[in-house]
Homo-oligomer: A and B are copies of this chain.
Amino acid sequence: MTTLNQSIAQALIKYRHLSQISQENLADLADIHRTYVSQIERGLKMPTLAILFKIAHALQIKPSDLIKEIENKYDEI
Protein backbone atom coordinates (compact mmCIF):
# COMPACT_ATOMS: atom_id res chain seq x y z
CA MET A 1 0.00 0.00 0.00
CA THR A 2 1.48 3.34 -1.00
CA THR A 3 0.88 6.47 1.01
CA LEU A 4 -1.22 7.89 -1.82
CA ASN A 5 -3.48 4.83 -1.72
CA GLN A 6 -3.82 5.35 2.04
CA SER A 7 -4.73 9.02 1.59
CA ILE A 8 -7.35 8.17 -1.03
CA ALA A 9 -8.77 5.45 1.25
CA GLN A 10 -8.99 7.79 4.24
CA ALA A 11 -10.58 10.61 2.24
CA LEU A 12 -13.18 8.30 0.71
CA ILE A 13 -14.10 6.74 4.05
CA LYS A 14 -14.43 10.20 5.63
CA TYR A 15 -16.75 11.54 2.93
CA ARG A 16 -18.78 8.33 2.75
CA HIS A 17 -19.32 8.48 6.52
CA LEU A 18 -20.30 12.15 6.27
CA SER A 19 -22.89 11.12 3.66
CA GLN A 20 -24.02 8.35 6.03
CA ILE A 21 -24.16 5.74 3.30
CA SER A 22 -22.83 2.20 3.16
CA GLN A 23 -20.22 0.90 0.71
CA GLU A 24 -23.08 -0.89 -1.05
CA ASN A 25 -25.17 2.28 -1.36
CA LEU A 26 -22.17 4.19 -2.68
CA ALA A 27 -21.44 1.45 -5.20
CA ASP A 28 -25.05 1.55 -6.42
CA LEU A 29 -25.14 5.35 -6.62
CA ALA A 30 -21.79 5.54 -8.42
CA ASP A 31 -22.57 2.57 -10.67
CA ILE A 32 -19.40 0.74 -9.70
CA HIS A 33 -18.89 -2.67 -8.13
CA ARG A 34 -19.20 -2.92 -4.35
CA THR A 35 -15.96 -4.91 -4.21
CA TYR A 36 -14.20 -2.05 -5.96
CA VAL A 37 -15.35 0.46 -3.30
CA SER A 38 -14.09 -1.89 -0.61
CA GLN A 39 -10.75 -2.31 -2.40
CA ILE A 40 -10.26 1.46 -2.70
CA GLU A 41 -11.12 1.92 0.99
CA ARG A 42 -8.53 -0.71 1.90
CA GLY A 43 -5.91 0.97 -0.29
CA LEU A 44 -5.73 -2.00 -2.64
CA LYS A 45 -6.87 -0.26 -5.81
CA MET A 46 -5.80 3.01 -7.38
CA PRO A 47 -8.90 4.62 -8.93
CA THR A 48 -8.95 6.37 -12.29
CA LEU A 49 -10.25 9.92 -12.62
CA ALA A 50 -13.44 8.49 -14.13
CA ILE A 51 -14.08 6.54 -10.92
CA LEU A 52 -13.22 9.59 -8.81
CA PHE A 53 -15.78 11.66 -10.71
CA LYS A 54 -18.44 8.94 -10.30
CA ILE A 55 -17.78 8.63 -6.57
CA ALA A 56 -17.80 12.39 -6.02
CA HIS A 57 -21.06 12.69 -7.95
CA ALA A 58 -22.59 9.91 -5.84
CA LEU A 59 -21.43 11.65 -2.63
CA GLN A 60 -22.73 14.99 -3.96
CA ILE A 61 -19.35 16.67 -3.57
CA LYS A 62 -16.98 18.21 -6.10
CA PRO A 63 -14.21 15.92 -7.34
CA SER A 64 -11.76 18.74 -6.52
CA ASP A 65 -12.94 18.77 -2.89
CA LEU A 66 -12.27 15.05 -2.62
CA ILE A 67 -8.81 15.63 -4.15
CA LYS A 68 -8.15 18.49 -1.70
CA GLU A 69 -8.85 16.12 1.18
CA ILE A 70 -6.50 13.54 -0.39
CA GLU A 71 -3.81 16.23 -0.83
CA ASN A 72 -4.10 17.25 2.81
CA LYS A 73 -3.85 13.67 4.04
CA TYR A 74 -1.00 12.96 1.63
CA ASP A 75 0.97 15.97 2.92
CA GLU A 76 0.53 14.78 6.52
CA ILE A 77 2.00 11.34 5.92
A20 to B67, CA, bound (A): 25
Interface residues of A in 34-53 (CB under 8 A from B): 46-50, 52-53
**26 pairs from A and B in contact (CB 8 Å cutoff):** A2-B50, A4-B49, A4-B50, A4-B53, A8-B49, A46-B48, A46-B49, A46-B50, A47-B48, A47-B49, A48-B48, A48-B49, A49-B49, A49-B52, A49-B67, A49-B70, A53-B74, A62-B71, A63-B67, A63-B70, A63-B71, A64-B64, A64-B65, A64-B67, A64-B68, A64-B71
A4 to B46, CA, bound (A): 18
Residues 52-77 of A, flagged 1 when their CB comes within 8 A of B and 0 if not, give 11000000001111011011001000
